Structure 1
Amino acid sequence: MRTSLNDLRAAEQYILGTMPLDEALVFQARLLTNPTLRCKVNLQRKVYTLLRIRQRRHVKAAVEDMHEQLFADPTKAAFQEQIFSFFNPEKL
């Protein structure tokens, strides 16, 4: 159990690029000689990729919701005008 936890932490550091160079070289050698570890690291990379995609979607949905609240409501016309004035090329 402890070894797999250590491998998980090492894989995280390796994937995120926070592992010191000397440790990264040793870890790379372990990846070359240990197919199980290599498979686990590849799966961990995929999980991180999926988490990044999920986070982007979450942020995008929140921004779209905010946009809908601020720019689709006619009672916020003054605010909308103020924002649009920042992007007026005549003022730049």
Structure 2
Amino acid sequence: MNEIKAIDDFVLKLAPPDEALLFEAKLIINPAMHEQVMWHRQTLGLVKQYGRNKLKAEIEAVHKKLFSQPEHEGFRLKIMRFFGKR
């Protein structure tokens, strides 16, 4: 678990400079660790993309609800006026 945290801190640039430098040295002498870092970056990217997609879907669901249901007409009109011609 400590290794995963060290990789995470390094990738996210949370490690103090001395620890980051030591980690970089370990990457040079340990090709397997270099591969772990690559996979960790890949995983973080996928998690980030999943989060973005989930947030986008939630926003679209709220948008659909607010702009299609009659009980939200007052809110819809306020938004339209706010972003309308000025």
TM-score using structure 1 length: 0.88
Q: Does 1:78 align with 2:74?
A: yes
Task: Provide structure 1 residue ranges, at least 5 long, that are not aligned to the other structure.
Answer: none
Could you tell me how far 1:73 is from its partner in structure 2? 1.4
Match of 1:58 in 2: 54
Amino acid at match of 2:38: N
Q: Distance in 1 between matches of 2:21 and 2:71?
A: 60
Quote the sequence identity (%).
33
Q: Does 1:8 align with 2:4?
A: yes
| DSSP-derived class of the 2:34 partner | helix
- CA offsets, 1:18-71, max 9 Å, x none? 000111011001101101111111111111000000000000000000000000
Could you tell me how far 1:17 is from its partner in structure 2? 0.6
Which shows bigger deviation, 26-35 or 68-77? 68-77
Alignment RMSD: 1.0
How many aligned positions are there? 86
Q: Distance in 2 between matches of 1:42 and 1:27?
A: 14
Q: Distance in 2 between matches of 1:37 and 1:24?
A: 14
Q: Which runs of 4+ in 1 moved over 4 A?
A: none
